[in-house]
C-alpha cells in the first residue's frame, strides 16, 4: 500500500514534469519581445530628446545655443506695457485721436496668438542665428515676451529687446542691428488705426517745423506758400522722399501714386526749389494766426494739392477707414473728426 510520503513524492514528480514546459514557453516569449520593446524605448527616448527636451547648449562645444523653435506650432506674444503703449506712444492725442472703443480694441492685443506657420518658421530661423552673449546681469526693459508652444505643450519662453533676447534661464543672445523685431507679428487688424496715428504724427511734425522757424512777433506763414516754406526748411537735413511722405496722409498714399512722386523727388537738385511732383493731403486755415484762440483750426486734412488753404469746405472724411479726418488746432492739439456735426462744432476763426 502506498504511503502518504509516496503520494507526496509522486505529486512532486508530476509538478516538476509540468513546470519546465511553461517556463520554457515564457522564456521564449520574453526573448522574442525583448528586442521590439528595447527598440520602442530607444525610439521614444530619442523622440523626446529631439522634440520636447530643451536644448540649452551645444553638445559639441558646451556653449549655449538659441532657443529651437523649429517644431513650434504657435507663438504667444505679450507686449511689454501693453499694445496701446507699443503702437500708440503715450501722448495727450491718444484720447482725441482714438475713442474709448478703439483704445479697448487695441488693448485686446496686449497678449495674442500667432498661428501662421510660415511666419513662425521665418521667426524660428531668425532666432536660431543668435550669438551667445552671457548671462543676464541686472534687469532690462523688454519690447515683448514670446512663449513658444508645440500643441498645448510649452517649449520655451524668452523676452525680446531690440538686438537681444533673454531666455527664462537668464541666458542672453545677440542679433545684428534691425534684424530682430516683433513688427513681423503686428496685428493687421490695427493697421487702419496705426495709419491714422502716423497721419497725426505728420501734422504734428509740420506744425513744429513751422513754429521753430517763425521769428517771435511775426504772423504765421503766407498761406499761399506754407508747404514751400516747410519743404525749404527741412531739405538740408531730410531726404526728399521723407519730405514727400511727410505731406501725405499714410492712408491716402496708395491712391496718390506717391512712389512716382518720390522717384522724381530723388532726381531733383537738392536746392530750395520744391519738386512739382510732391503733393499734400493737408491744408492751412488762413484765418488762424498766432493771436487766434488756442482751439482755432490751423491745419487739417484735405484732398491732394499743394499750398492749399481755406476753411471746412476743403476738409475731407475720405482718407481713413473708418471715415474721418484729422485737424490740428492752434495749440498743437490733434483731433479726429468723425461726423459732419463734429466738423460744424470746430472753431475756424
Q: Which of 171, 186, 201 is the last residue of a domain?
A: 186
Residue 99 has pLDDT above 80, yes or no: yes
Residues of the domain holding 338: 189-345
Q: Which of 158, 186, 214 is the last residue of a domain?
A: 186
**Total Cβ atoms within 10 A of residue 112:** 15
Q: Stretch 207-219: mean pLDDT, rounded?
A: 72
Rounded Cα distance between 223 and 284, Å, is 7
pLDDT of residue 131: 94
Residue 276 falls within a domain, yes or no? yes
Residue showing cell 529631439: 50
The answer for residues whose C-beta is within 8 angstroms of residue 168's C-beta and 6 or more apart is: 156, 157, 158
Residue 33 falls within a domain, yes or no? no
Q: What percent of the chain has pLDDT over 70?
A: 72
Residue 227 falls within a domain, yes or no? yes
Residue 165 has pLDDT above 90, yes or no: yes
Q: In this predicted model, what pLDDT tens digit does every residue of 25-39 receive, in sequence order?
A: 655 655 555 666 666
Mean pLDDT of the chain: 81
User: Is the domain of 195 the same as that of 293?
Assistant: yes
pTM over 0.85: no
User: Is the domain of 221 the same as that of 250?
Assistant: yes
Rounded Cα distance between 20 and 196, Å, is 88
**Total Cβ atoms within 10 A of residue 313:** 6
For residue 193, CA distances in Å to 85, 199, 256, 322 come to 13, 10, 20, 9
Q: Stretch 237-264: mean pLDDT, rounded?
A: 72
Residue 22 falls within a domain, yes or no? no
Residue 292 falls within a domain, yes or no? yes
Considering its fold, how many domains does the chain have in total? 2
pLDDT of residue 142: 80
Residue 19 falls within a domain, yes or no? no
pLDDT of residue 275: 56
Q: In this predicted model, what pLDDT tens digit does every residue of 285-342 receive, in sequence order?
A: 999 988 899 999 999 999 999 999 999 999 999 999 999 999 999 999 999 999 999 9
User: Is the domain of 137 the same as that of 94?
Assistant: yes
Residue 3 has pLDDT above 70, yes or no: no
Rounded Cα distance between 252 and 255, Å, is 6
Q: Which of 186, 214, 232 is the last residue of a domain?
A: 186
User: Is the domain of 242 the same as that of 322?
Assistant: yes
pLDDT of residue 243: 86
User: Is the domain of 176 the same as that of 200?
Assistant: no
Residue 58 has pLDDT above 60, yes or no: no
User: Is the domain of 320 the same as that of 201?
Assistant: yes
User: Is the domain of 109 the same as that of 161?
Assistant: yes
Residue 62 has pLDDT above 60, yes or no: yes
User: Is the domain of 182 the same as that of 216?
Assistant: no
Residue 60 falls within a domain, yes or no? no
49 touches 147 (CB < 8 A): no
262 touches 253 (CB < 8 A): no
The answer for residues whose C-beta is within 8 angstroms of residue 305's C-beta and 6 or more apart is: 279, 280, 283
pLDDT of residue 178: 80
User: Is the domain of 193 the same as that of 329?
Assistant: yes
User: Is the domain of 178 the same as that of 246?
Assistant: no
Highest mean pLDDT among 16-20, 46-50, 96-100: 96-100
User: Is the domain of 97 the same as that of 239?
Assistant: no
Q: In this predicted model, what pLDDT tens digit does every residue of 256-288 receive, in sequence order?
A: 555 444 444 444 444 444 556 678 999 999 999
Residue 157 has pLDDT above 50, yes or no: yes
The residues pairing with 172 across neighbouring beta strands, listed in sequence order, are: 134, 166
**Among 33-47, 95-109, 286-300, whose mean pLDDT is lowest?**
33-47
Q: Could you tell me the pLDDT band of residue 105, with boundaries at 50, 70 and 90?
A: very high
User: Is the domain of 198 the same as that of 334?
Assistant: yes
Output the CA angle 196-198-199, nearest 5 degrees: 65
Residue 59 falls within a domain, yes or no? no
Amino acid at each position: 500500500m502506498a504511503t502518504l510520503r509516496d503520494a507526496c513524492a509522486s505529486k512532486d514528480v508530476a509538478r516538476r514534469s509540468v513546470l519546465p514546459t511553461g517556463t520554457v514557453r515564457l522564456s521564449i516569449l520574453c526573448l522574442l519581445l525583448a528586442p521590439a520593446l528595447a527598440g520602442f524605448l530607444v525610439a521614444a527616448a530619442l523622440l523626446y530628446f529631439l522634440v520636447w527636451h530643451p536644448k540649452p547648449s551645444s553638445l559639441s562645444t558646451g556653449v549655449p545655443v538659441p532657443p529651437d523653435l523649429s517644431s513650434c506650432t504657435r507663438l504667444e506674444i505679450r507686449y511689454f506695457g501693453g499694445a496701446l503703449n507699443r503702437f500708440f506712444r503715450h501722448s495727450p492725442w491718444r484720447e482725441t485721436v482714438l475713442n474709448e472703443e478703439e483704445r479697448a480694441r487695441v488693448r485686446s492685443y496686449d497678449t495674442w496668438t500667432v498661428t501662421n506657420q510660415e511666419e513662425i518658421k521665418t521667426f524660428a530661423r531668425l532666432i536660431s542665428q543668435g550669438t551667445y552673449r552671457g548671462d543676464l546681469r541686472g534687469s532690462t526693459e523688454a519690447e515683448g515676451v514670446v512663449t513658444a508652444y508645440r500643441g498645448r505643450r510649452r517649449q520655451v519662453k524668452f523676452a525680446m529687446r531690440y538686438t537681444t533676447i533673454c531666455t527664462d534661464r537668464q541666458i542672453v543672445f545677440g542679433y545684428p542691428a534691425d534684424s530682430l523685431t516683433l513688427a513681423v507679428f503686428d496685428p493687421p487688424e490695427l493697421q487702419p488705426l496705426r495709419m491714422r496715428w502716423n497721419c497725426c504724427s505728420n501734422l504734428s511734425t509740420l506744425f513744429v517745423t513751422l513754429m521753430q522757424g517763425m521769428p517771435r512777433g511775426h504772423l504765421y506763414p503766407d498761406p499761399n506758400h506754407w508747404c514751400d516754406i516747410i519743404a525749404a526748411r527741412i531739405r538740408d537735413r531730410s531726404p526728399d522722399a521723407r519730405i514727400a511722405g511727410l505731406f501725405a496722409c499714410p492712408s491716402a498714399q496708395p491712391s496718390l501714386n506717391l512712389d512716382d512722386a518720390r522717384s522724381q523727388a530723388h532726381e531733383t537738385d537738392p536746392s530750395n526749389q520744391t519738386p512739382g511732383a510732391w503733393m499734400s493731403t493737408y491744408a492751412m486755415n488762413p484765418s488762424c494766426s498766432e493771436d487766434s484762440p488756442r482751439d482755432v483750426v490751423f491745419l487739417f486734412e484735405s484732398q491732394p494739392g499743394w499750398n492749399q488753404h481755406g476753411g471746412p469746405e476743403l476738409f475731407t472724411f475720405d482718407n481713413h477707414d473708418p471715415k474721418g479726418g484729422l485737424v490740428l488746432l492752434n495749440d498743437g492739439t490733434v483731433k479726429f473728426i468723425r461726423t459732419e456735426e463734429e466738423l460744424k462744432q470746430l472753431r475756424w476763426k
